[in-house]
Structures are given as structure tokens and as C-alpha cells.
Chain A
Amino acid sequence: MKKIKYLLLILLLTGCQNYRELNDIAITTAISVDYSQETNEYTLITQVINSVNKQDTSSSNEPTFINFTSTSTSLSEGLSQIVLESPRKLYTTQTQIIILSKEVIENKLDVVLDYFIRNPEIRGETLILLAPDKEDLKGITIQTLLDNLSSSNIVSSLKASEKEGYTTLITINDLTDMYLNPYKEIILPTLYVEGNINVAEEEENKTSTNYKGTVKIGPLAIFKDTNYLSTLSLDESKYLNIIRNSLNSTIITIPYNEGYITFELYNIKTKYKPDIKNNKINLTITGKAKTYEIVTNTNIEDKEKVKDIQDYFNNYIKENTLNTFTNIRNTYNTDIFNFQDIYHKDNPKYLKQNLHNWYKYNYPNLELNINSKINLYEKGKIKEEITYVKKNR
């Protein structure tokens, strides 16, 4: 009897229930979603790893990934209909990025978020990008050299750009939070295709040292509700990240003494002190900076000069941050800085009672007090500036 019990247990513990062989699944690494208002249909492009590639000599020249396209009135159906073309069922657990078109965000963001956040196969940590033009959605079809998969290429580039402060990583969870939170506005990193997309999709794109066509990470795109407003410049993206406390490090060049100094900022932290009753936010930026380039003919061994540079630099950061805030607010009147959310977290009752017409009265009159306290910390491997040494000794 005992043996029979153990035999039964062995049968239960095999893990064979609903198993899927590796050869039966199409491992998906990227999905791009477009929507057409005329036809009320979604167009999906998926990037699937070619697992046959390089298994033997005959398949070694095959592309490392394959793209499947499908069109349907629902996302689930669109993705499931890919089996009509692909011999394998899509396996989306490994999806690294999802690229959305402007049309999707403006018209069907709720539907898209509901699908991706509900699906247990797709992680909430999957990165989201915006394709400003229809052509940019094909970013995942481009052959790349440094990474076999263009999705990995995009992710690596996106993460590196985030570290340099040019963009921000936005996941499905972040986007859902921005969408659901009535006190926040949406921002998204962008990607765009450069060059000839038709050639870029061919394996030949990898045979040249210069890409015929490539995919690039762009600065941040800004929205009001779900309406796309604009894509910021790289500098604006940096200062926006400073205000949103999402910048860790970046490079900033300041004009100084008829030349310029380039700094690398790191450990940047932004703290807010809202004064809701006076509609004022005090913002303190702290962190460290090291000099990368100095072309100013200045004696940087002089303590007073260094202090002067530091003050000048902090003032520069303060002015540019304030300018970025003022420009974005005056041009687009969208609170991508999350100031309303800061007020809501600080004093929700006062916000509801007194600041109920945020975009008409309160946001346009919001006062931002910036205090930059970035400490110039390192000068690199040499103590002095080469130009200064050459000219003065």
C-alpha cells in the first residue's frame, strides 16, 4: 500500500502538467503596438528569438531573430493569431520592451495597460518606449551588430542613456501609475529609426562598420492626460530628470571665463519642501560633480577660484532648471514634474478644497524656489588645467 502511495506521489511530482517544450515556444523579446482609429484595429510586431540559428552550419547564416506581424481588433487575439504564421506559440515571459505608438497612447492606453498588466506572462518591470512615428515602431526589426537582438540593443542603449540622464526608464507599472494617478502626467522615453529601414532589416546591415539604418534612443516625450505634446530636447530631459529626482548622473557643460568646463554630476538627489498655502515648492538639489574638461585658462589650484567655479556652476544649474520648468509650463501647461502629486501627498485636503482648478490658476502661478548645493569634488588625474599651465609657465 505504501509503495502504491509513493508511486502516486512520483506521478504527481513530475511537473509534466501543461509543460511546454522549448522547441514548441517562440520566445518573444519585444512587442510593438500600433492602433488605427479608422479600422479600430491593433497592428502588432513581435520579435522572436530564432532558436535554430547557429545550431548547425546550414543555419548559421540565418538571422538571430524573426519578426511576426498581425492585425486584430484585440491585443490578445492579435498575439494569438501569430500562430497562423509562426509554427510556435508566443512565449512572452522574456519580453524586454514594449513599443507603443502615439495613436495607442492617445486612444487606447487603458486597453493596452489592462492587457499587459493583467497578463501573468508579462512582467510589470518590462520597459515601455514611445515610437513618435509609425516607422519607428519597426525599431525591433532592425539588424544590429553589438547585440544579436535589436531589443537587447535598445534595452542596453536605453539603460546607458538613463545613466547619462538623457532619459528615464518607464516600466508597465510606472506607466500604469502615471495613468491611474490623477495628479501625475505621462512621460515616456522615445526611440526612433534613422537611415534606411528596408536595408536595416536585412542581414547586410551587420556587414558594414556603419549601419545603413539604426535605431536610436531619443529624449523624453511629454503628455497631458494621454495627449502627446512634444519630445523634449536632451538638455530639457536632463533638467526634467533633476526636478523629478530621477537623475543619478549626467554630463553638463557650462560656459566659463571665455571657455567652458564640463562636469560629470553623480549621486544627484532632489528634495522637495512644498508650501501648499503659498503655492510654492522649495527644491534642493544635492550631489557631487567632477571635472571632465576644463578650457578656461583658470588656476584651479586656487581655493577661491574653485569656490567661484562651484558657485557659478550651482547658479547655472539653478537657472537652467528653473528655465526648463518655466518653458515647459508656459509652452505646454502640463505638470510632468509631479508637483500636484507632491501637494496631494503633503496636504490632500487643502489641495482638494483650494487648488481644484490646477491647470487654470494654480499651476501657472506655482513658484519654484531652487537651491543647488552640488559639491565640486574631483578634478580627475591632473591637478591643473593644461591651457593655464601652458600660458602661465
Chain B
Amino acid sequence: MSKKIDSIEFTSLFILTFLSSSIGLSLYTTIKYASVNSYIGVLISFVTSIIPLLVFIFILNYKQELNIKEKINHLYGKYLGTIINYTLIRLFFIIAITILFNLSNFIVSQYLSDTNILYIMILLSVTLYFSLNKGIETISRISSIFTLIFFILLVIAIFSIKKEIDINNLKPFLENGIIGPIKAGLINSLLTTIPCFSLLMIPKQNITNNNKIIKHIIIGYIISSIILFLISIISNSILGEYLIQIYQYPAYVSLKKASLFNFIDRIENFFSLAWILSSFIGIITSLYYIKETITKNNKQIINIPLIIILVIVSYKLFKNNTIFDIYILKYYPINLLSILILFIIISITIIIRKILKKD
């Protein structure tokens, strides 16, 4: 089967992976650090995310016929390359278990409170397994459909919630200084951009119309950032300074106020489907990265053990919400930062190589 995907499909993968943290992780951390000014944190992250984005584009453009695993092996040789690749596998696996737990926890805490979280994880993992078996072409096609659904749901949600927005709730402006929003912005840029590095597993040459891909990625980045900013600003303006800090998923709670044409109520679950779709893509791109690094020639034998380990680790590691919340604030950003550092080192190596070649 050919592994060619369209540049639009690649961009849709980028957008949904970028937004996979928007369900809880992104808003939760920005609110923790910046309170009601979390939207300023999201604005700051729009600027700070440019660095990881440039690293991503730079690595994507290098040796366009190779995927990231092959690029690393090419740059560092087989021994060191394998070590780096397996380090990255571990780090992307952490991203996958985090998003899986976050998504399952969201479903259990908000609509299926009587259901065991393991049951939700298994249900999601079955879907993940089937998608992973189908390969990147199917995943990217699913993603482009999901992106369309995401945008439609988002537009309807904003339309149905606009009368509840109270701009005064966004104040006070920088009550505790700029440090909080800066911290929030930096962590938010890690949460959103780092999972996208899993897309480097797709060689640029495998993308049709790849001459437009950079432009599409930048457009995708701007659109995703605007969506994230809108989610943050809407949640803040609806819930206000004090309510937003007590809810686990404030964006979902704000959606409870949505009413279409003043008579269609209780539609928050329908809208929250958008987040579920993006989280799903976020997990699957990380799993695809792991699978492609471990196996050769798209072998599917790894998929079942990979999914089983994913579910078991996610279920066993996060014993409760509190542990997960502490982990999200303290340890998860470190994991993401280490991925960024590794890719920055890879970029520097590429630059040095290029300079040495020129000399």
C-alpha cells in the first residue's frame, strides 16, 4: 500500500494533534498558572510556539525521503541513533498514555460517571487498534474528516454560546503580574506543539503537493492557535475568575450554557465530540510514531501489544485524578521539554552537518 498522503490531510493531522491537549490539559495548566488571565498565556504561547514550529519545519525539510527514525540513524549512526530513537519512543509513549487517561477521565467524570475508566480505555483502544492497523493513509483521511467536523462543531458551539459571553469576566487584567501568564504560555506551547513532532515520522516526500506543505502547516498552526485562544477566552468570559478555577474541565462546563435558537439545550456532549476526536488523533499519531520506530515495513504485529501496554500503563500509573493533576503540572511538561531539547539537538546537528559539508 502506498504511504502517500495529501498536504491537506497532513495539515489536518497537525491541527488535531495540536488541539489534542485542548480538552483539559492546556486549559487546566494555563488556568493554574495564570488564573483568569489564562487567555493571555495562550496568546503568549502563540509567540513561544514559533520556536518548536520552526524546529519541526526544519527537521521535516531535511532529507525529505527519510522519516525521523531514519534521519536520526543517518545523523548519529546506528548505535547512538537507536538510543535516541528509543528515548523518543519512551517520551512519545508518555504523551500517548497522558492523552488517553485525560480523554478517558473526561468521559468518565463528565458523562459516564458510573462506568469504570478501564472500560472506556478498552473501548477507545479497540478503535485505536483498528485505525493503527489501517496505516497512516487511513489515519490522515480520518483526520481530515474529523477536522471538518471539529470546525463545524466549533462554529455552532460559538454561535450557540455567544450571548453568555461577558467580557468583564476577563478582568482583572494581570492582577498578579505577567510571570504567571508567561509560565502558562511556555507550558502551553509545550503541551500543544510537542505531540505534533510525532508527524515527523511521515517523510516529506510521501506528502503530495509537498511544495505547499510549509504554508499549510503555518496556516494550520495559526488556525489551531486561534481555536485554542477562543476556547480559553470563551471559558474565562463565561465562568469568571473564581468558577473557572474549581472546575476540572471548564471549557466543557461553559458549553453547558449553549442553547441553539433558544430551544435546543443540553448539547454540550454533542459539541465535546470535537475534543474527543482531536484527542483520538493525538494518541494515534504518537502510537504511529512508536510503531514505525519499532517495526519495519509497516508490520502490524506490534499493534496489539502496544495498545495493551498503553492501556495497562495508563490505567495503573494514574491511580486517581489527583495524581494525574499533579503529574500534569509537575512532570508532563518536563517530558515534553525533553522531546523539544532532543529535537533542538537534532536540528543543531543538521546545521553543523550542513556547515561542515559546505566547508
Contact = CB atoms under 8 A, between A and B. Distances in A.
Interface string A308-348: 00000000000000000000000000000000000011111
Contacts of A123: 256
B320 to A, nearest CB: 15
B156 to A, nearest CB: 19
A176 B243 contact: yes
Contact of A180 (B114, B168, B243): B243
Nearest to B111: A120
A348 B172 contact: yes
A123 B359 CA distance: 68
B172 A346 contact: yes
A17 interface: yes
A124 B266 CA distance: 12
Given A12-B123, A176-B246, A124 B115 contact: no
A18 B123 CA distance: 15
A125 B168 contact: no
A243 B89 CA distance: 59
Interface stretch (B11-19, B47-55, B234-242, B273-281): B234-242
A344 B242 CA distance: 13
B303 to A, nearest CB: 12
Given A180-B242, A181-B241, A345-B168, A120 B122 contact: no
B84 interface: no
Contact of B239 (A17, A18, A173, A347): A173
Contacts of A177: 239-240, 242-243
Contact of A121 (B113, B122, B171, B257): B113
A293 B321 CA distance: 61
A5 to B, nearest CB: 9
B295 interface: no
Interface string A114-141: 0001001101110000000000000000
Nearest to B242: A180
Contacts of B239: 173, 177
B243 A120 contact: no
Interface residues of A, number: 23
A9 interface: yes
A123 B122 CA distance: 28
Contacts of A18: 112, 114-115
Contacts of A124: 253, 256
Nearest to A8: B126
B109 interface: yes
A8 B126 CA distance: 10
Contacts of B171: 345-346
Nearest to A342: B168
Contacts of B113: 120-121
A40 to B, nearest CB: 26
Interface in A337-361: 344-349
A125 B115 contact: no
B109 A120 contact: yes
Nearest to A93: B266
Interface in B87-118: 109-115
B146 to A, nearest CB: 19
A349 B119 CA distance: 50
A173 B175 contact: no
A348 B175 contact: yes
Contact of A173 (B110, B112, B126, B243): B243
A17 B241 contact: no
Nearest to B122: A12
Contacts of B246: 117, 176, 180
A191 B207 CA distance: 66
Contacts of B112: 18
Given A117-B246, A177-B242, A180-B243, A9 B126 contact: yes
Given A18-B114, A120-B110, A125-B257, A181 B172 contact: no
Contacts of B109: 120
A247 to B, nearest CB: 15
A17 B115 contact: yes
A8 B125 CA distance: 13
B256 A125 contact: yes
Contacts of B119: 17
A170 to B, nearest CB: 13
Interface in A1-39: 8-9, 12-13, 17-18
A173 B111 CA distance: 18
A181 B122 contact: no
Interface string A183-216: 0000000000000000000000000000000000
Nearest to A173: B243
Contacts of A120: 109-111, 113
Interface of A: 8-9, 12-13, 17-18, 117, 120-121, 123-125, 173, 176-177, 180-181, 344-349
Given A12-B126, A176-B246, A180-B246, 6 more contacts: A120-B113, A173-B243, A345-B172, A346-B172, A347-B172, A348-B172
24 contacts: A8-B126, A12-B123, A12-B126, A18-B112, A18-B115, A120-B110, A124-B253, A124-B256, A125-B256, A173-B243, A173-B253, A176-B242, A177-B239, A177-B240, A177-B242, A180-B242, A180-B243, A181-B240, A345-B168, A345-B171, A345-B172, A346-B171, A347-B172, A348-B175
